[in-house]
Amino acid sequence: MNINDISAKRNCTSCQMCAAVCPKNAINISLDADGFYRPIVNDELCVDCGLCTKVCYKFENEIADYGEAKLANTILYGASAKNPDVVKNTTSGGIADLMAHKLIKDGYKCVGVVYDSDRDAAIDTIAETEDELLGFRGSKYIQSYTVEAFKQIVKNCKTKKYAVFGTPCQIFALDKYLRQRKVRDNHILIDLYCHGCPSMNIWKKYIKEIKTKISSDVVDNVNFRSKVKGWGNFYVAAMVNGKPVFYSNNRHNEFFDLFFSDQVLNEACNDCKLRGTLEYTDIRLGDFWGKQYVLNGKGVSAVSLVSNKAKNLFDSISNDVEYKEENYQDFLPWQSWGKAHNPKIELRELLLNQLRNDEVSLQESIDTIHKQQGLKRKIVRYGKTIVHTMPLSWEKLVRWIFYKL
């Protein structure tokens, strides 16, 4: 039995843990035609040991529920680093950055995602020093390649301590594996309030268009959520030689327009059970959307502390943090917690076909979506466009009114 067995109950999340645990290196990971990481099994090497299925979301009988009673006993903070430079150079409130630095000092090896400019891809790497954490800053809104980093965890999890930052599906697989090895308590797992992961074919086209606009074959680094116009705006910034040479248009960003259409997410993301539970993580982080901080232009992190290790870690950095305890009723409605995405099957297939075709631009794919939108969605879209033309102070006020209503 291996990862391709027909008894699978769900779709592949692209976590890639199956390849990391395979003792025969019989599983390779590559992007499929639709732009999602998928396992490819070499049947000549596979011995049907089944280890890959034991860490896989597809084969899990039941995903543990996290009901209201558990939520009520799980601490939620709205938090920001006191150091303004940390907040400025991170996506939300800088809490992940503070935690990572403290974990390195405490002897953990930190696993996080960096942007690889040679491959124009997000890659999980292992940081052993504080200097190596710099590339972890900023969310990467694409699937990450995890195999090599996860193989190191598999190899060394009994002798070394790891703190892993990842998506809920990645953390689920690691939690499963570490419990099987009876070393879960030696490690800290930190996931995020996740919406889903889009096809890498969107990003391939988008970064190609950026390179064309700036007349460069190379982009050194990308900030997927630049704060050039404050927190809460989705500006993509591209850097060459450490300097920004491109900013996207907040009113019309082809990458995020396609991402948040929910039509071309990884299929497992559409009905993911993991973004609606905290059973497999120690800490969950995200942007604290909602009325509480809508006028904050710098950035606020949502911090859910699930385990005692999580509480101890937060306590150890609390002198460097401004924070306030919040309630989930005011926070979760603005997240994808427990929600399902419902793409239109025919539209999804059409878009995936367009994204595979180098002759079709991202704008043409967006136009395809707009043509099939109903009146309500069109009104919302035009309304957002109008709001984004306003001065930033007015835009914040409109958001505040929206959240209040």
Please determine, for residue 387, whether its predicted confidence score (pLDDT) is greater than 90.
no
Q: What is the mean pLDDT of residues 204-215?
A: 96
Q: Which residue has the higher pLDDT, 382 or 27?
A: 27
Which listed CATH number (3.10.50, 3.40.640, 3.30.565, 3.40.1350) goes with 68-197+265-334? 3.40.640
- Which residue from 183, 203, 196, 191 is spatially nearest to 122, judged by alpha carbons? 203
Residue indicated by tokens 């009905």 = 271
Domain extent listing, the chain: 68-197+265-334, 200-262+342-372
Do residues 335 and 289 make contact, with C-beta atoms less than 8 angstroms apart? yes
Using a pLDDT cut of 90, give the percent of the chain over it. 86
**Does residue 398 register a pLDDT over 90?**
no
Examine the pLDDT at 95 and tell me if it is beyond 70. yes
Q: What's the mean per-residue pLDDT of the chain?
A: 94
CB within 8 A of 263, min separation 6: which ones?
Answer: 343, 344, 347, 348, 351, 369
Tell me the pLDDT tens digit for each residue of 210-228.
999 999 999 999 999 999 9
- Do 362 and 248 touch, CB atoms closer than 8 A? no
pLDDT at 405: 65
Q: Can you tell me the mean pLDDT for 317-341?
A: 96
Q: Residue 219: count other Cβ atoms within 10 Å of its Cβ.
A: 18
- 6-16 per-position pLDDT tens digit: 999 999 999 99
Task: Write the single-letter amino acid at 372.
Answer: Q
Residue 390 pLDDT: 75
From 198, 192, 235, select the one nearest 93 (Cα to Cα).
192
The per-residue pLDDT for 384 is: 75
Confidence category of residue 391, pLDDT binned at 50, 70, 90: confident
Question: Exposure pattern of 378-389 as b/e (b: 16+ CB <10 Å)?
Answer: eeeeeeeeeebe
Cα–Cα distance, 39 to 44 (Å, whole number): 15
Residues 247-304 have pLDDT tens digits of 998 677 999 999 999 999 999 999 999 999 999 999 999 999 998 998 899 999 999 9
Give the pLDDT of residue 395.
Answer: 73
